[in-house]
A and B are shown apart, each in its own frame.
Chain A
Amino acid sequence: MDATYIALAQMAVGGGLMGMAYALVAYGFQLTYAAGKAVNFGQGELVMLGAFAGISLAGTGLPYWVSVLGAMVAGAALGWLVERVAVRLALKQHNEGWILLTIIVGLFALSSVENIWGREDRAFPAPWPTGALDIFGISVTWPELAIAAGALGIMTLVELAKRYTMAGIAVQAVSADPEAAELCGVRSRSAISLSWAVSGAAAAFAGTVLGPVTTVGPTMAAALTLKAFSVAVVAGLDSGFGLLIAGIALGAAENLSGYVLGSGWREAPGLILLILALAIRPQGVFGKKIIRKV
């Protein structure tokens, strides 16, 4: 194959694998939006906190997998907390204060991390082999594969849990119609709390698989919230499969535009995709049009 095509394919594959991380963070948006009609604009900070929790646990000598689990527990607790302190009251008062409040909680987390761990970027030790795999002339590293496998794994697990466990079915019921669910004995508050906890755990997990690729620092996920939100909006807030496609497409498009147009243009396609999606298909490419009965 022509060297130029291999180079382009290399960029697309590398970007697409990173895009799976966008999809995983966007999936966190989807979970809380389905259950409680709100999202966490500090989701990127949860990713960063998850990475720091993981790196600190790994620093105590715990094996990688245990520190990943520990980070997920911390992420779940933080996700739950964000809903309690920043979202619940605003939604009860039927205002949009949660948008600002989740951003504020995120900024608070950022300052706390800078004070506790400092501003330095640090390497995340992971048990993956060094070096790269060569697949038809395209190099793929183990940490990149871990992002893809992790994103797929977490999303599959949660989707299965939503369908086949009582708690999952309860959450689905609440997202369909909270009042009807309450009448059937489902506590909608608990279901919403649960979805925020799972969303937080997914974000923290994303931090632990992203860390080995990007290094861990307070600003590691600064751009991630916006990118993941773009993915969620482009895909629609109710399609898990659509998130993966949109995430991969965004990651690949970023890398390709950086390669073809120059590294300064990396971020452009995400914003253009977001504008196009909002203009042409506001419900998302894979979303369902919501018909409100009046």
Chain B
Amino acid sequence: MNASRSILAFLLATSFSTVVTAADVVKIAITGPFSGGSAPMGVSMRDGAKLAISQINQNGGINVGGKKMKIELIERDDEGKNDRGALVAQEISSMGDISAVIGTVNTGIAVMGDKYYVEKGIVKIITPAAGSASMTQWSKAGTKDLPIFRFASHDGIQAQMVVEKALKLGFTNVAIVHDATNYGVSGRDDLIEQINRQRGKLKVVSVEKFAIGDKDMTGQLMKAKSAGAQAILIWGIGPELAAVAAGKEKLGFKVPMIGGWTLSMSNFIDTAGAAGNGALMPQTFIEDESIARAKPFIQAYHKAYGVTRIPSPVSAAQGYDAALLLAEAIHEAGSTTPSKIKFSLENLKVTVKGAIADWKKPWSTWNPSNVESHEAFRRATTVMGKVQNGRVVLADPSEKFVLAGTTAK
């Protein structure tokens, strides 16, 4: 029986050792599409968050109740697919020792998967998914206690900015073109709602959709063109947005594309090339080192990952700031227990200096009748960006002050 005894001893020893390490670290999961069409957002978000976490760990970790604890990361690629995302959420929520989750790019995945976190009360900061449905699913259901927070300029704000921009540019007739995913459809609904609020100043002359993977958009664009659209208001992700830009060029349909922040994705900018120039989109962050607040983050990101351009600067900066906010909340909670972290996130005491803004109590206690209670971004902290020769720049340089000196809220 020697063998079984030594196995027992080994099992006991290892189980104790895991208990010891588990108490020494804070376990945080990062999920997102690290491959596929949404990868520039997922990878940048992950790398931005990891940059913050490695900086925190280099300083010894988070001070939790007087004890320094390092952050241990669990990464999962949801491939931007709803079913895979739901599996990842199930897996992470059943791990038992996860304090919080950062991530999700695709609105459909938040809709399919976040219920598993809510069931277990695990804190999640959604970033950079912007689709309205990822948060309104909880307000519509009247969920009383919500551990899901969002750290992204949501589509309600973005649609408002897109419509305002179209009006500012003097357009009266626009086409809405969107992808057939949850993100595209909820973006279309947000746009239509915002246009209706303008009481007839803007007319939608055609609404067209396309599927993920479509390469030929001439059909949709010809309908928009023959209906007399002066601008295309668009909701989709990189590869298909590039196909729309190429189709516009083919048809000689020279109207601007104004759309969701995804128009800043590297796989749109690179694939569209010159055809993408002039595309306008809301941004919470611009990769511009002349903005003092952003400079250290941009330089650290470039150095850490050996790049000269961040694939999706908005995602990277949001990932970075979200990780800083989460670390502060864990410190203030003095605990790695999700329910306590949730309370701290809703009542943050210290202003966190991030790459995007100084975050002074970005969230408040969840109120199902006010979805903004768990939304960190406001219209005033978002600017319009423009694609110009392979990069995203400020559409209106006078808006630089928003990014340089904002105190959020």
For the complex, give the distance between the alpha carbons of A123 and B216 in Å.
15
Q: Check A214–B215 contact: CB distance below 8 A.
A: yes
Contact residues in A for B239 (Cβ distance below 8 Å): 121, 215, 217
Contact at A139–B252, with CB atoms within 8 Å? yes
Query: Do A14 and B216 have beta carbons less than 8 Å apart?
Result: yes
B248 to chain A, nearest CB (A): 10
Task: Give the most central of B214, B215, B222, B275: most A CB within 10 Å.
Answer: B222
* Cβ contacts under 8 Å, B39 to chain A: 118-120
Q: Produce 1/0 per residue, A252-263, CB < 8 A to B.
A: 000100110001
Find out whether the CB atom of A134 lies under 8 angstroms from the CB atom of B252.
yes
Determine whether B267 belongs to the interface, using a CB cutoff of 8 Å to chain A: yes
Task: Give the chain A neighbours of B180 by CB distance below 8 A.
Answer: 264
Contact assessment for A119 and B226 in the assembled complex, using a CB-CB cutoff below 8 Å = no
Contacts A121-B239, A139-B251, A139-B252 hold; do A11 and B219 have CB atoms under 8 A apart? yes
Tell me which of A3, A120, A122, A259 contacts B35 (CB under 8 A).
Answer: A120
Complex interface: chain A residues within 8 A of B267 (CB): 120-121
Indicate with 1 or 0, residue by residue over B194-214, a CB within 8 angstroms of chain A CB atoms: 000000000000001111011
Question: Is B170 interfacial (CB-CB < 8 Å)?
Answer: no
What chain A residues lie within 8 Å of B274 (beta carbons)?
130
Contact bitstring A71-82, B, C-beta under 8 A = 1, else 0: 000000000000
A-B contact number at CB 8 A = 74
Cross-chain contact B219 with A132 (CB below 8 angstroms)? no
**By the criterion CB–CB under 8 Å, are A255 and B249 in contact?**
no
A9-28 CB contact bits vs B (8 Å, 1 = yes)? 01100110010000000000
Closest chain-B Cβ to A260's Cβ sits at a distance in Å of: 9
CA distance A263 to B219 in the complex (A): 8
Q: Is the beta-carbon distance between A215 and B271 smaller than 8 angstroms?
A: yes
* A131 interface hit (Cβ, 8 Å): yes
User: Which residue in chain B gives the minimum CB-CB distance to A144?
Assistant: B250
Interface string of A169-192 (1 = CB under 8 A from B): 000000000000000000000000
Contact B35–A118 (Cβ < 8 Å): yes
A219 within 8 Å of B (CB atoms): yes
Q: Which range holds the interface residue count of chain A? A: 20 to 34
Chain A residues, Cβ within 8 Å of B218? 10-11, 14, 139, 255
Measured CA separation A231–B150 after assembly (Å):
49
Residues of A with C-beta under 8 A to B271: 121-123, 215
Q: Shortest Cβ distance from B352 into chain A, in angstroms? A: 33
Query: Complex: how many Å from CA A3 to CA B223?
Result: 10
Q: Does A141 contact B (CB under 8 A)?
A: yes
Within 8 A of A (CB), among B247-271: 249-252, 267, 270-271
How long is the Cα–Cα vector from A281 to B213 in the complex, in angstroms?
33
B85 in the interface (beta carbon within 8 A):
no
- Asked if A263 meets B220 with Cβ closer than 8 Å, knowing A121-B37, A132-B252, A215-B271, the reply is yes
List B contacts of A141 (CB < 8 A).
250
Q: Does A7 make an interface contact (CB < 8 A)?
A: yes
Given the complex, which residues of A lie within 8 Å of B273, measured CB to CB?
123, 130
A3/B226 in contact, CB under 8 A? yes
B297 to chain A, nearest CB (A): 24
Among A120, A132, A134, A139, residue most surrounded by chain B Cβ atoms (within 10 Å): A120
Give the CA-CA distance A128 to B390 in the complex, in Å. Answer: 20
| Interface contact A131-B249, CB-CB below 8 Å | yes
Provide a sorted-by-A list of 17 A–B residue pairs whose CB atoms are within 8 angstroms: A3-B226, A11-B219, A11-B222, A14-B218, A15-B216, A118-B35, A121-B267, A121-B271, A122-B270, A131-B249, A139-B218, A139-B250, A213-B215, A215-B239, A219-B213, A258-B219, A263-B208
Question: Which 4 pairs between the two chains have the least Cβ-Cβ distance?
Answer: A119-B35, A259-B219, A214-B215, A123-B271
Please give 17 more A-B residue pairs, beta carbons under 8 A apart, in addition to A120-B39, A217-B239.
A11-B222, A14-B218, A119-B36, A120-B37, A121-B239, A121-B267, A122-B271, A123-B271, A132-B252, A134-B252, A139-B252, A258-B219, A259-B222, A263-B208, A263-B209, A263-B214, A263-B219
A residues near B (Cβ < 8 Å) are 3, 7, 10-11, 14-15, 18, 114, 118-123, 130-132, 134, 139, 141, 213-215, 217, 219, 255, 258-259, 263-264
